[in-house]
Structure 1
Amino acid sequence: MLCAGALMTILDGSVVTVAMPAIQSDLGFSSSGLAWIVNAYLIPFGGLLLLMGRLGDLVGRRRMFTAGLALFTVASVLCGVATGQSVLIAARAVQGVGGAMTSAVVLGMLIALFPEPREQAGAIAVFSAVGAAGGALGTFLGGALTQALSWHWIFLINLPIGIVAWIAALRVLAPDRGAGLGRGADHLGAVLVTGALMLTVYAIVGAGERPVGRTLILAALSLGLFAAFILRQARAERPLLRLRLFRSRLLTGANGVQMLMIATMFGFQYIGALYIQRVLGYGELRTGLAFLPAPVLIGVLMLGLSARTIGRFGPYRVLLAGLVLIVAGMALLSRVPASGAYVVDVLPAMLLLGAGFAGAMPAVTGLAMSGVAEEDAGLASGVFNTTQVVGGSLGLAVLTTLAASRTGELLAGGESFVSANADGYRLAFTVATGIAVAGFVVAAVVLRVAGRDSLAPAAPTRSRH
């Protein structure tokens, strides 16, 4: 039940990717503004995970989970009936709030349901595989529904699924009592960090379409909000985020690596879909099918080999090997030509990225949690989930802005549509390769000493940090 509920929010992160050109054509989005269809969902999702996790502890996780499902479903319908840019973006933001409410409590509920270590490990492995399957299913469904019906149905399909999931959740999940709202939650901290994230992405998206001075002002404001958030957490009686958590070199370093890695992978998913459609000329359904190999490979390797490989070689070595594969895959994509072919120019890179991510993601998760005391495990999990969303959103903003700016310059100079887009995407893939290299360097330097002998399965309850 928990996996099915979480699958809805996972699907919505990828289902829109293939439908982007259709939405752009129908609603008149600019190339840089198009990224807000994704960012409007990701920013409240990532910014509110910590607060919603805390509220789940206070009001009850089952209540938070079912309320999130209901809000997400209603917002999906609003997305599906949207006929203008502002309505779609606003509804996507509400979806992000519902997704945060649902996702923030799932891991805690899984751990409570499966306290025995072996069963717990199996449940978390299944949950991780569902995440990978969601990426594959979302891309495929997005293409199939858009081509067969229209892009509106990629959102409307959530209505029957959401109703069934909500009723089933009420019947299957046992009620639980929270600590009570009297214990308090740091609402001001949530407002500050969400505002900071939104301003940061807004400053990056469309930077090429506004004066440099205005972009610098927006960046300064976002830094000010981040500083205010840190100050608030240092002084609040019940902070949203206990800053002492970041004294752990493993947790801090692993979150940094994860942010860079997710920025790379999310950029590949979005830019790669545009390349396949606008340069290779694939339709929505064929694009969805073209993306299936990577997430399927990720799911198979996560369930079949990742845990055993980490157990034998340690998470540090597996993480480095995975990052090398990701760098290699992105480097191949940085050479995609305007006259490319999927089997030659895209598929090999996609398989390298899938294999690399399947090894690197469980390894970096184990390293992050092994640097945390047992009483902080729930909070550290929330931080880790937030870093995933932030990395994906910022990576998407940077890479799409670079690609759109480069393409616009070439089109203005008389370059053909296909050639200009191919050049813009090559620039984005080149920068993504650099981001992946930075992730490898951070992992090699920051995590080396502590990661030598760490084993991800046992680390969270045996921390010496």
Structure 2
Amino acid sequence: MSVTSHRTAGTDLPADLPPDAGRAATGIAIVLVAQLMLVLDATVVNVALPRIDTDLGFGPASLSWVLNAYTLAFGGLLLLGGRLGDVRGRLRLFEVGLTLFTVASLLGGLAQTPGQLVAARAAQGVGAALAAPSVLALLTTSAPDEAARNRALALFAAVSSGGASLGLLLGGLVTDVGSWRWTLFINVPIGLVVLVLARRFVTETPRRPGRFDVVGAVTATLGAVSLVWALIGTPDHGWTSPRTLGGFAVGVLLLLALALTETRVAHPMIQPRLLRSRRRVAALAVMALVVGGQLSMFFLVVQYVQGVLGFGPLASGFAFLPLSLGIFTVSRFTPRLMARFGARVLVVAGTLGLTTSFVLLSQVGADSSYAGAVLLPMLLNGLSAGLVFMPVTATALADVEPEHAGAASGLLQTTQQLGSAVGVAVIVSVYAAGAVPGEFLPGAREAFLTSASFTAVALVLAVTMLRPVRARAVAPEPAEVEALAAEAA
């Protein structure tokens, strides 16, 4: 096979690239655009919620379902989406999920009643859950070499972590300039372009033969849905309400049934060996804790800049620009830093920086300014997050067989969604415990420090559990010992 040299002085490009490397790079860019769109939709409507309420007449009790419907469907179906991609073909499932997401975005933008909008948001979540695991799996299997894979993972991490803050900026822009409906309509042309180009530049993955694990699919899906449903309701119903405790109980029982099933079937929904790696389990826990801690940035800081500093929707979006810039800037160098220092060093540094940023934010007051109290912690948070997400993602997906890449991707992203739901539930509960009606600051300090405790625990896990696995010495065979002795004689 012919290859083309691309090495130049002072660059980190490999000496030889496959002849189809350009096509692979284009394919990676296409699926990353889709990932950005899926992530944006988790936050793009946040700053538009007051106008959605005014236009459609939701009322305070039901408005949260504009966000929760998407979160519930997305988080609950990710494991199923990952496994279906392995069995049916990842590109095919990516196209099915993205088509559903795009159509639901159009219907959501046209919604005339609260029920129509919530239904469309739930359909968006289903489409995202089908497409998202295939995005990450296609990235890991499309890269022509290990260096390209790490660069793709760095971009994926940047898009996934920075996309949430970009969603606030985009949502504020289109809401101020046009209408809240454009927070949904904007997905339609992007989705259509990706669908047209994906088949041309992205290669389909082989299907994995074997029977589909129906019991595993049902228990995994309903278990995840039950846990997310219970968590998103805790701010309104409390941690000890029958709704919350019942949701937790059902979720735990279903996941226990899933664990029992997966050890007994020939083609399990989740490969048990994926959870036998100490480093992988630690990486999943770190991801959940960091994502959970980051939710204070979007729940608390948005309220602070709007309620205390008086920012409008667009200005609130721009307030998060340092966070996005920090993530995207660091992600440019993360692959080289990881190659030099290893994943553990980067995750330790990143979680330490995140913890520091939350402690600094806990000091905001009524007389603070954006430049004096928010800008530096926001930038530090972005730079630190950029150090964490790619190494954790790479660690969670390391040594996964190609035929199980979709299941591993679904497991990682389900962990992210559960971490997000836990983060919202805990942070909102802590904030509400000390809140005073009509005021932002009471309760905010404790809530920011709760985020700091999340990332501090992630720091401890990184230090203690992400140590590189040492290769065990293998005793030589007797015949080898005899041969070496004869050679020495």
Pair 1:113–1:251, CA change in 2 (3 A): closer
Pair 1:251–1:97, CA change in 2 (3 A): same
TM superposition shift of 1:301: 0.8
TM superposition shift of 1:378: 5.0
In structure 1, distance between residues paired with 2:362 and 2:215: 42
- Contact 1:251 1:372 (C-alpha < 8 Å) held by counterparts: no
Instruction: Say yes or no: does 1:235 pair with 2:268.
Output: no
In structure 1, distance between residues paired with 2:470 and 2:358: 27
Instruction: Say yes or no: does 1:438 pair with 2:457.
Output: yes
Question: Over residues 373-428 of structure 1, what are the superposed CA-to-partner deviations in whole Å (9 max), with x where a residue is unaligned?
Answer: 77755543332222122212221233234434543xx22xxxxx2xx222243332
Question: 1:61-100 to 2 correspondence within 5 Å?
Answer: 61-100=90-129
From 45, 59, 62, give the equivalent of 2:74: 45
- TM-score after normalising by structure 2: 0.81
Instruction: Say yes or no: does 1:429 pair with 2:448.
Output: yes
Partner of 1:310: 338
TM superposition shift of 1:98: 0.8
In structure 1, distance between residues paired with 2:148 and 2:236: 52
From 215, 222, 234, give the equivalent of 1:195: 222
Instruction: Say yes or no: does 1:289 pair with 2:318.
Output: yes
Question: Over residues 276-328 of structure 1, what are the superposed CA-to-partner deviations in whole Å (9 max), with x where a residue is unaligned?
Answer: 22222211110111111111111111113x22322332221221111111001
TM superposition shift of 1:71: 0.2
Deviates more, 1:366-375 or 1:146-155: 366-375
TM superposition shift of 1:201: 3.2
- Contact 1:17 1:270 (C-alpha < 8 Å) held by counterparts: no
TM superposition shift of 1:451: 6.6
From 145, 154, 160, give the equivalent of 1:116: 145
Q: One-letter code of the match for 1:237? A: A
- Contact 1:185 1:238 (C-alpha < 8 Å) held by counterparts: yes
TM superposition shift of 1:126: 3.7
Question: Over residues 141-165 of structure 1, what are the superposed CA-to-partner deviations in whole Å (9 max), with x where a residue is unaligned?
Answer: 1000111122121011112222222
Deviates more, 1:275-284 or 1:381-390: 381-390
TM superposition shift of 1:219: 2.4
Partner of 1:184: 211
TM superposition shift of 1:70: 1.0
Partner of 1:459: none
From 255, 264, 279, give the equivalent of 1:226: 255
Question: 1:262-273 to 2 correspondence within 5 Å?
Answer: 262-273=291-302
SS at match of 2:468: helix
- Contact 2:161 2:385 (C-alpha < 8 Å) held by counterparts: no
Partner of 2:41: 12
- Contact 1:48 1:100 (C-alpha < 8 Å) held by counterparts: yes
In structure 2, distance between residues paired with 1:347 and 1:282: 14
- Contact 1:48 1:190 (C-alpha < 8 Å) held by counterparts: no
Q: One-letter code of the match for 1:116? A: D
In structure 1, distance between residues paired with 2:233 and 2:156: 36
In structure 2, distance between residues paired with 1:342 and 1:33: 32
Partner of 1:458: none
From 352, 356, 375, give the equivalent of 1:328: 356
Pair 1:197–1:428, CA change in 2 (3 A): farther
- Contact 1:33 1:206 (C-alpha < 8 Å) held by counterparts: no
- Contact 2:232 2:421 (C-alpha < 8 Å) held by counterparts: no
Pair 1:185–1:394, CA change in 2 (3 A): farther
Partner of 1:148: 177
- Contact 2:85 2:406 (C-alpha < 8 Å) held by counterparts: no
In structure 1, distance between residues paired with 2:146 and 2:430: 46
In structure 2, distance between residues paired with 1:451 and 1:406: 44
Pair 1:193–1:247, CA change in 2 (3 A): same
Question: Over residues 53-99 of structure 1, what are the superposed CA-to-partner deviations in whole Å (9 max), with x where a residue is unaligned?
Answer: 22223322222121111100111122223344433332222111111
Pair 1:29–1:346, CA change in 2 (3 A): farther
Aligned pairs, number? 440
Q: One-letter code of the match for 1:258? A: M
Question: Over residues 308-359 of structure 1, what are the superposed CA-to-partner deviations in whole Å (9 max), with x where a residue is unaligned?
Answer: 3223322212211111110011111222223432111211111111111111
- Contact 2:133 2:406 (C-alpha < 8 Å) held by counterparts: no
Pair 1:34–1:433, CA change in 2 (3 A): farther
Instruction: Say yes or no: does 1:382 pair with 2:410.
Output: yes
- Contact 2:323 2:381 (C-alpha < 8 Å) held by counterparts: yes
Q: One-letter code of the match for 1:311? A: A
In structure 2, distance between residues paired with 1:55 and 1:368: 20
In structure 2, distance between residues paired with 1:208 and 1:108: 34
Pair 1:218–1:51, CA change in 2 (3 A): closer
TM superposition shift of 1:434: 1.6
Instruction: Say yes or no: does 1:365 pair with 2:383.
Output: no
Q: One-letter code of the match for 1:383? A: L
From 233, 237, 258, give the equivalent of 2:287: 258
SS at match of 2:42: helix
Instruction: Answer with 1 or 2: which has the greater Rg.
Output: 2
Q: Which runs of 5+ in 1 are unaligned?
A: 412-416, 454-465
- Contact 1:19 1:143 (C-alpha < 8 Å) held by counterparts: yes
Q: One-letter code of the match for 1:386? A: T
Q: Which runs of 5+ in 2 are unaligned?
A: 1-29, 472-489
In structure 2, distance between residues paired with 1:388 and 1:202: 15
In structure 2, distance between residues paired with 1:137 and 1:356: 17
> Normalized per residue, which structure has more helix?
1
Partner of 1:340: 368
After superposition, the CA RMSD in angstroms is: 2.8
- Contact 1:208 1:405 (C-alpha < 8 Å) held by counterparts: no
TM superposition shift of 1:175: 5.6
- TM-score after normalising by structure 1: 0.85
- Contact 1:314 1:452 (C-alpha < 8 Å) held by counterparts: no
Pair 1:375–1:53, CA change in 2 (3 A): closer
- Contact 1:233 1:242 (C-alpha < 8 Å) held by counterparts: yes
In structure 1, distance between residues paired with 2:235 and 2:144: 51
Deviates more, 1:187-196 or 1:280-289: 187-196
Partner of 1:244: 273
TM superposition shift of 1:250: 0.6
